[in-house]
A and B are shown apart, each in its own frame.
Chain A
């Protein structure tokens, strides 16, 4: 029996080592599936049995407090982990009728309290309650979301390169993923632009600057069948295209058009200030009296549904450079771009109208045919962005309700989960723009206290066995030698 137990120990240890190495290559997601599979469940169960048999078969394990604690601790860790696993929850539901959600995510907002749990973090832009996998025995409401940041380490804006690259989503479908990378720049130093063959040299950086435009006047261009009609951008101005019988009328002028709110309640507003996103709201009246509205933006000419028969373009003066302006909070950068046998000298002016805020590197990299095959959107772009302060902390201040009554109020932050009614709730992600919601990860605490008790026993046992016993043995030895 003891001989067999020894062989079992070597087999179990060897198998666990091999499986762990295999798991390290598989990655966390697939590894979790492997270690939770049915054959492995049998393995874990046999390992628990082996540990129990070992304690029974080898009297030394029972006589030595350290060894006993380590082995009993291991049994508790494995047993608790099995009880707390998804399969353990299934078994508990079937055998004991205890229905508990093993794990999931919650989207908690400032509005109504919620008890819905989802398998994946819910998308706040497209929230669908029907995807919920279950309900908690309590509801949560976000009372406050607090974020703290470290002070900025630098004043200069960061120069970024962004590109859409082929990637695979969770389901393995081919998708285009936006990749961004820093360009580590210094004035006068030529550097390679990450993920491209192009190189750039920053010629000058103005910490506060305003753009300088050419002499063109802003205008709405309406391209019809017979030429183009031009309107000056003022509310009420209108033009009739006689050949088509269409009337185009300007109903609103935006200095900076912004879209606010979520998908179901979006609102278009004029944020005012310098013309960061100049746009026009245009009414198009067809010969049959039917009216349609379009937003025409100077910076994003491709935006919005195209109209049949006519083409609307909001022309803005072109940027020809920038000048230092101490009152401005945005910088400007002049760069020299080299690549594909070409050389371009351009200004990067964030927030300014026109095409100047970002520069497409399409002409500098690869052949025209390649770009066409990939589509325009895959060509990398350069842009300036303000340095983001590093997040120091985030706190979700939550109100807990049961039967509609406020029963608790607790703060959840990274490393400090909330524990309530058999569940732990963790800070998973949050809305750092409007502070309207927080995403919490939900975990059942089944088996957890057994695992913790096992951890304590293993650690106490191992220190007792290898440290305390050695010191005690040394002291006893000294005593025996007459010290």
Chain B
């Protein structure tokens, strides 16, 4: 446990607090809606409910501003794009989710901002309390033009696929959705999010392989982190095959793929940090 007494640290804690508050207000609103589900004429939200909806959005937006400020300040302090170690990666993730939420609601009709706020909180937790923010210099091996695209593609895909996980879990729990008018059903939401995230996951994998070739001499080194990233990719690949073969016929089985995919991603992310015995070529990322 490491508490940060710096401006970056303070901004991270502020962002976490705002994200958490946003998620809690959304939870209250959700419970209210759940209670009102059986009542007649409950489709139109009351003015106070609409106010609550606005509070959720404002808190979420403020959380994003705090996280973005922390990220920019961090980049300014270390004088390079802050994507070198896990501290910087999770900080960047914490600021990236908000724009993705806006995009998904506007173009893909996928909601779930409350879950995004929870994702932001979880993602920022290690930035706030686990990883050290001590600035590090880039060793020669990390000084590559592929570094930023490789890590960015992976980060974006991880956030998007985490967002796919939420409706998949809801579908697995038997809820069909959508939670709000104007949005798509859970099954389709999970599929759309996977369609959005999978190409980025593939790009991250291929860029990693290309970089591996330039840096280590092999595009594939059988490193544990590489193998787990392959497992994640294969699980989503399996999902897309399944969805393509059977459509929406086995919605719960489809949802299992998406849920397992995120578990594989979490293992990929944390594998080298689980113990020294598994440390491989990617150990500098810890």
Contact = CB atoms under 8 A, between A and B. Distances in A.
Interface of A: 6, 9-10, 13, 16-17, 20-21, 23-25, 27-29, 31-32, 35, 81, 103, 150, 390-394, 413-417, 424, 426, 441, 443, 448, 451-452, 455, 458-459, 462-463, 465-467, 470
Contacts of A414: 140-141, 143, 215
B81 interface: no
A455 B210 CA distance: 9
Given A414-B215, A459-B202, A20 B245 contact: no
A148 B222 CA distance: 31
Contacts of B223: 28
Query: Max chain A CB contacts within 10 Å: which of B143, B217, B221?
Result: B217
B247 interface: no
Contacts of A150: 137
Contacts of B269: none
A10 B230 CA distance: 16
Contact of A443 (B195, B199, B218, B235): B218
A102 to B, nearest CB: 11
Contacts of B58: none
B140 A103 contact: no
A415 B140 contact: yes
30 contacts: A6-B245, A13-B237, A13-B238, A13-B241, A16-B234, A17-B231, A17-B235, A20-B230, A23-B222, A25-B224, A27-B224, A27-B278, A28-B222, A31-B222, A32-B221, A35-B222, A392-B137, A414-B141, A417-B214, A426-B216, A443-B218, A452-B210, A455-B210, A458-B206, A459-B206, A463-B203, A465-B199, A466-B195, A467-B195, A467-B196
Contacts of A29: 222
Interface of B: 137-141, 143-144, 195-196, 198-199, 202-203, 206, 209-211, 213-224, 227-228, 230-231, 234-235, 237-238, 241, 245, 271, 278, 280-281
B241 to A, nearest CB: 6
B193 to A, nearest CB: 11
Contacts of A451: 219
Query: Max chain B CB contacts within 10 Å: which of A24, A103, A462?
Result: A24
Contacts of B237: 13
A390 B140 CA distance: 10
B224 A28 contact: yes
Given A24-B271, A393-B143, A466-B199, A448 B213 contact: yes
Which DSSP category, helix, strand, loop or mixed, fits chain B's interface?
Answer: helix
Given A394-B140, A459-B203, A21 B231 contact: yes
Given A17-B235, A463-B199, A417 B230 contact: no
A21 B140 CA distance: 30
Contact of A392 (B140, B198, B203): B140
A413 B140 contact: yes
B220 to A, nearest CB: 7
Given A103-B217, A443-B218, 14 more contacts: A21-B227, A21-B231, A24-B278, A28-B222, A81-B220, A390-B139, A414-B141, A414-B215, A415-B211, A416-B214, A455-B209, A462-B203, A465-B199, A467-B195
Contact of A470 (B195, B203, B220, B278): B195
Nearest to A81: B220
B199 A28 contact: no
A417 B217 contact: yes
A57 to B, nearest CB: 13
Contacts of B278: 24, 27
A458 B230 CA distance: 14
Contacts of B210: 452, 455
Nearest to A469: B195
Contacts of A24: 224, 227-228, 231, 271, 278
A415 B215 CA distance: 4
B142 to A, nearest CB: 9
B22 to A, nearest CB: 29
Top 9 closest pairs, chain A to chain B, by CB: A31-B222, A414-B140, A24-B224, A24-B227, A415-B144, A466-B195, A20-B227, A462-B199, A32-B222
A453 B222 CA distance: 21
A424 B217 CA distance: 8
A392 B278 CA distance: 27
Nearest to A18: B231
B272 to A, nearest CB: 11
A10 B237 CA distance: 11
Nearest to B134: A153
A390 B141 CA distance: 12
Contacts of A20: 227-228, 230-231, 234
Contacts of B211: 415
B227 A458 contact: no
A467 B160 CA distance: 14
Contact of A23 (B195, B202, B227): B227
Contacts of B221: 28, 32
A197 B40 CA distance: 71
Query: Max chain A CB contacts within 10 Å: which of B237, B245, B271?
Result: B237
A467 B122 CA distance: 28
Nearest to A428: B217
Query: Max chain B CB contacts within 10 Å: which of A32, A466, A467?
Result: A466
A415 B141 contact: yes
Given A16-B234, A31-B222, A463-B199, A415 B206 contact: no
Nearest to B153: A459
A6 B238 CA distance: 11
Contacts of B228: 20-21, 24
A25 B280 CA distance: 11
A23 B278 CA distance: 11
A388 to B, nearest CB: 12
B159 to A, nearest CB: 16
A24 B275 CA distance: 13
Contacts of A470: 195
B275 to A, nearest CB: 12
A388 B107 CA distance: 52
A442 to B, nearest CB: 8
A445 to B, nearest CB: 10
A426 B241 CA distance: 39
Contact of B139 (A391, A452, A459): A391
